[in-house]
Amino acid sequence: MTGAPQVVRTVADLRAVLAPRRAGGVGLVPTMGALHEGHLSLIRAARAEQGTVVVSIFVNPTQFGEAADLAAYPRTEERDTELAAGAGADVVFAPTVAEVYPDGFATTVSVAGPLTETLEGAVRGRAHFDGVATVVAKLLLAAAPDAAYFGAKDAQQVVVVRRLVADLGIPTRVVVIPTSRDADGLARSSRNARLSSAERALAAAVPRSLRAAQDALAGGETDAAALVAAGRAVLADAGLAPEYLSLVDPGTLEPVTRVDGPVLLAVAVRLGATRLIDNVVLGTERTPS
């Protein structure tokens, strides 16, 4: 399909649009809108692999802990539709809250254990990943895609989604796309637009902290506490204290004490009213710059 993407608002319409197109493969890119280059890299990856690319735009209220964060979340659907089309989307699925959560809605998909209790789960509370898991399950059931595309920036989300797809037997391949970054290394995020210029300058310390740990590892340090200390020092220089800066197993998200294989270094920092998260897999990835 070329030209403007088709915008559909109901699951019934989405299924009707996709029904004749299944044979060519369907890719789904779930988003909350306010699209930026990171989202577009997911859409392009889907475009390269699938006959039909669906981008969902839904600001999911159940995954927001703070009402103010939900209220302030940018909503730019018209611009998003144009950007999605430019990156190769055929269909934009933009349902209302009532379409996703009709009256009487009473089901929660909950991934239990350390996968959802650590890192973001510890800071944002268990309702956050319940909200994510439930809406992702609903989107995968609605679109029934051959593959769904997620960003490595939300590393814990990827682990949780892989778990729920495996546990529920959902026949969708989960594809993970590397984090897209600004020139100074900051991971692109819809929330970055809310940073003041002073905060935006400080934010570059977040990827720098990951890089400091990478550099320490490259210098021969394998002790997790020492690697975390190297990252914390960079944040402290910028006057920042992380909500967490943790070295964990990339599959189980359990803490590690020594690096002797791929480990996930994940960080969350609050800068004024904005939370920033980032991560790198030590031992495998290029430095975030």
189 binds ligand AMP (CB under 6 A): yes
17 binds ligand AMP (CB under 6 A): no
User: Using the 8-state DSSP alphabet, how is residue 180 labeled?
Assistant: P
| Catalytic option among 27, 39, 189, 269 | 39
Select the span of 18-26, 69-77, 166-174, 176-184 touching ligand AMP (CB under 6 A): 176-184
207 binds ligand AMP (CB under 6 A): no
Cβ proximity to ligand AMP, 135 vs 234, nearer residue:
135
- Residue 242's SS3 state is strand
Parallel, antiparallel, or unpaired: how do β-strands 26-31 and 147-151 relate? parallel
172 binds ligand AMP (CB under 6 A): no
Listed residue (21, 139, 32, 127) closest to 80, CA to CA: 32
Distance CA 109, CA 272 (A): 32
Distance CA 214, CA 202 (A): 20
Cβ proximity to ligand AMP, 42 vs 235, nearer residue:
42
Angle between helical axes of 205-218 and 224-237 (0-180°, round to 10): 150
42 binds ligand AMP (CB under 6 A): yes
CA-to-CA separations, 83 to 77, 87, 186, in angstroms, rounded: 10, 6, 21
**39 catalytically annotated:** yes
185 binds ligand AMP (CB under 6 A): no
- Reported as type and span, the H/E element at residue 224 is helix 224-237
Cβ proximity to ligand AMP, 92 vs 224, nearer residue:
92
Q: Please tell me the number of Cα atoms within 13 Å of 285 on its side-chain side.
A: 21
81 binds ligand AMP (CB under 6 A): no
- Among 14, 18, 39, 263, which residue sits at the site for ligand AMP (rule: CB under 6 A)? 39
288 binds ligand AMP (CB under 6 A): no
Distance CA 263, CA 260 (A): 8
Cβ proximity to ligand AMP, 42 vs 224, nearer residue:
42
45 binds ligand AMP (CB under 6 A): no
67: phi then psi, degrees, rounded to nearest 5: -60, -35
129 binds ligand AMP (CB under 6 A): no
Cβ proximity to ligand AMP, 101 vs 150, nearer residue:
150
Select the span of 11-19, 123-131, 181-189, 271-279 touching ligand AMP (CB under 6 A): 181-189
Distance CA 175, CA 286 (A): 19
Written as six digits, the tokens of 179 are 């984090």
Catalytic residue positions?
39
The site for ligand AMP (CB under 6 A) is made up of 31-32, 38-39, 41-42, 150-151, 153-154, 177, 179-180, 187-190
